[in-house]
Amino acid sequence: MDSLKKILGIVWLVVAAIVAYYGLTVFGIPKVMSEKTDDNVFGWIILTVLMPIIVGGLGIFGWYSFKGEYSDKNS
Amino acid sequence: MSKKFTSQLEHDAYVEEKKKNRTIWGVIMASSLGTLIEWYDFYIFGSLAVVLATKFFPADNPTAAFLSTLATFAAGFVVRPFGALFFGRLGDIIGRKYTFLVTLLIMGFSTFLIGCVPTYETIGFVAPVLVLILRLLQGLALGGEYGGAATYVAEYSQPHRRGYWTSWIQTTATAGLFISLIVILVTKTSLSAEEFDSWGWRIPFWISILMVGVSYIIRRNMAESPLFAKAKKEGKTSKNPLKESFGNKFNFKFVLLALFGAVMGQGVIWYTGQFYAMSFMQKVMNIDSAQVDTMMALALFMGTPLFILFGWLSDKVGRKPIMMIGMLIAIIAYRPIYKTMYKSVNIESKIVAKNGLTEKRTVKVHAKIATDSLITFHQEKIFTDGTLLKKDSIVHWAAAGPIIKDGKPEAPLVKEAITVNPDTRWLLIMLVFIQVVFVTMVYGPIAAFLVEMFPLKIRYTSMSLPYHIGNGVFGGLLPAVATYLVTSGKDAGHAEWYLEGLWYPIVVAGVCLVIGTIYLKTKNKSLEEDEVVESPAASVVENPVV
C-alpha cells in the first residue's frame, strides 16, 4: 500500500498541474475576459476559488504522499 | 415499576449512566437547536434564490441575475473557511461555548438585516452590495458554528457511541433546510402571490431573530465542554492553534487528507442531493416553485432519520466504509436519476388533452415609461397525463412599436411553470429521497470522523477548516457551477445538456473516493483523551491518535 501511495503521489501532482493549465487557459482567463455575465461569474469562481485550492492543496497532498508522509509507519 | 439492583455498586453505575444520558441529551438539544437555526438562516437565502434574483439584481437578464444571486449565495460559502479559522482559533483558546454563542448572534442579526435591505429598484447597486456584505457575515458565522457544535457534542460523548450522538448534529443542516422550505411554504400560502413577491419574501428572514433569541438563552446556560474545561484548567490548551494546526506538518497532512479524502466528496454529494436537485427542478425542468418546495420538504423529511441510522452504524462498522459506499453509489446513480427526473416532465413528449389549451392576452401600462405597454400572452396547456403548463410571454411595446435591440425586435421574456401530476410528483419525491440517502451516508458519520482525526487542543480549528472548504467551497459553489455547465451545454446544442451540470459532483466525488479508499483507515480512531474519560487517573496524551 505504501508504494501505491507513493505512485499516486505523482499522479496527484500531475493532476494538480493539469488543473492549473486548463484552469488558466480554458476555464479561467478566457471566461473572465468574456463579455457574457455567465462566463464571467464562472471564470472568477474557477480562477480565484477552485483552482488555487485544487492546485495548491492537491499539489501539497501529492508531494506528501510521494515523500511517504501517509505511509502506515508515519500515521 | 422501579428497577431492582443486586448490589449498591450496580445501583450507582445505573444512576451514573442515567445522569450521563441526561447530560448528553441536554447537550445535544442545546447544540443542535442553535446549529439548526444557523443552517436555517444560511439556507433561507438559497431557498429564495429565484425571488431574490428579481429583488436585488437588474431585471434585464434573468439568467445573469439568477447566476449573480447564486454567486452571492456562494460567496457566503467561500468565506466559511475564514470563519472556521477565526472562530476555530477562538474556540481552541477561549472555549467552545462562548465562541458558538458569538457565531449565533452574528448569524441572527445578519439574516434579519437581509430581510430589511431595500430592493435594487429602490436603491440601485447599493442593494446587492449590502446583501453581499450580510451574506459574507453569515458565512463567517457559520464557519465558526459547526465545528464548535460537533466538537462540543463529541467531547461529551462516550467513545463507542460518538457516531450516534454526533449524528444528531448532522441532522441539523438538512432540518434547517427543511424548516426554511416549510416557513417559505407557509408564508407563500398565507399571502397572495403579489404580496409575497412584494414584501412577503422578507418574513422568513425576520423570523430568524426570534429563533436566535430563544437559542441564545438556552446556550447561555450550558456549561463548557468538560474535556476542554479540564485541559484549560491544567494549562494544556493551545496558545496558537493556527500555527499548531497548519504550521505543523504532522497535523497539516491530516487536514489535507480530511479535505481530499472525505469532506470534498461529501460536500458535493450534500449539495447535489439537497440543493442542485431543487434548482434543477425549478430552472431546468421549469416546475412550479411551490410544488418543488413541497416535494423537497417531503423527501428531506423522509430522509432525515437516516442520518442517525448511519451515524449509529458507523460506531459498529467504521466511518469510512459507510462514507465511501455512499460516494460510490452516488457517482454511479446521479446520471440515471437526473435523466429519469428530466424525462418524467419533458413536455415535448406529452400530448395536449382535448380542449386543454386556453390563451389570454393582457396589456398593462409600463411601470416606468407611461407611454409604453407590457403585453402578456398567457397560455395554459393541460396534457393527457394531467400535467399543467402555464406560460407567460411578456413583450415590451413602445408607443412607436416594438423595442428594437441589435436591429431586431426584442425577444419576449418567457416564464414557464409546470405543475406535475400526482404520479410524477411521487416519482420525483422518491428520486430526490434516494439522493438524500446518499447524503445521509456520507454526512451522518463525518462529524465523529473529523473530531477523531485531531487532538483536543487544536480540534476546533483543525476540523473546521477542511469541513468548510469541502462543504462551503466545493459544495457551496455547486449550484453556480452546475447551472453554468447546463446553460453552456444547452447553448452548445449538446444532446443531453441537462445532465452536464452533474460532471462537477461526479468528478470531485470520484477523486475523493479514490483518495479516501486508499488513504483512510477503516477502524474508528479514539480521541486522545478517551483514555482519560475511561480512566480518570491516566494523564492526557500529547500527540493525537491518528
Could you read off the pLDDT of B5-26 as tens digits, one per residue?
Answer: 677 777 777 666 666 666 778 7
In terms of CA atoms, which chain A residue is nearest residue B512? A58
State whether residue B68 sits within 8 Å of chain A by CB.
yes
Question: Which three three-digit cell numbers place residue B262?
Answer: 472525505
Query: B288, B56 in Cβ contact below 8 A?
Result: no
Query: B112, B49 in Cβ contact below 8 A?
Result: no
As a whole number of angstroms, the distance between CA B467 and CA B262 comes to 9
Say whether pLDDT at B396 is over 80: no
Query: B291, B427 in Cβ contact below 8 A?
Result: no
As a whole number of angstroms, the distance between CA B129 and CA B477 comes to 19
Over chain B, what is the mean pLDDT?
Answer: 82
Write the ipTM: 0.91
Closest CB to B67 among A1, A37, A53: A37
As a whole number of angstroms, the distance between CA B8 and CA B4 comes to 11
Q: pTM for the complete prediction?
A: 0.82
pLDDT of residue B144: 83
SS3 B316: helix
State whether A45 and B473 contact (CB < 8 Å): no
Average pLDDT over residues B103-120: 88
Question: Which three three-digit cell numbers place residue B19?
Answer: 445522569
Distance from CA of A64 to the nearest CA of B (A): 7
Query: B149, B166 in Cβ contact below 8 A?
Result: no
Closest CB to B477 among A1, A38, A49: A49
DSSP strands (E only) in B262-383: 352-365, 373-383
Say whether pLDDT at B63 is over 90: no
pLDDT of residue B526: 67
More confidently predicted of B202 and B143:
B202
Distance from CA of A25 to the nearest CA of B (A): 17
Say whether pLDDT at B286 is over 80: yes
Say whether pLDDT at B529 is over 70: no
The residues near B512 (Cβ < 8 Å, ≥ 6 apart) are B260, B261, B262, B264, B265, B266, B327
Query: A43, B226 in Cβ contact below 8 A?
Result: no
Average pLDDT over residues B151-170: 85
Interhelix angle B319-345/B305-317, nearest 10 degrees:
150
CA dihedral over B424, B49, B264, A17, signed as positive or negative: positive
Give me the residue label for grid cell 441510522: B309
State whether residue B487 sits within 8 Å of chain A by CB.
yes
pLDDT of residue B235: 80
State whether B477 and A37 contact (CB < 8 Å): no
Say whether pLDDT at B544 is over 50: no
Closest CB to B68 among A41, A64, A70: A41
List, in sequence order, the alpha helices (H) in B48-125. 49-56, 62-78, 80-93, 96-114, 120-123
- Start-to-end CA distance of chain A, whole Å, equals 13
Question: Which three three-digit cell numbers place residue B341?
Answer: 427526473
As a whole number of angstroms, the distance between CA A3 and CA A14 comes to 17
As a whole number of angstroms, the distance between CA B406 and CA B393 comes to 20
Closest CB to B64 among A8, A38, A50: A38
A70 contacts in chain B (CB < 8 Å) = 253, 257, 519
More confidently predicted of B314 and B31:
B314
Question: Which three three-digit cell numbers place residue B125?
Answer: 447597486
List, in sequence order, the alpha helices (H) in B191-237. 193-198, 203-220, 226-233
Distance from CA of A24 to the nearest CA of B (A): 16
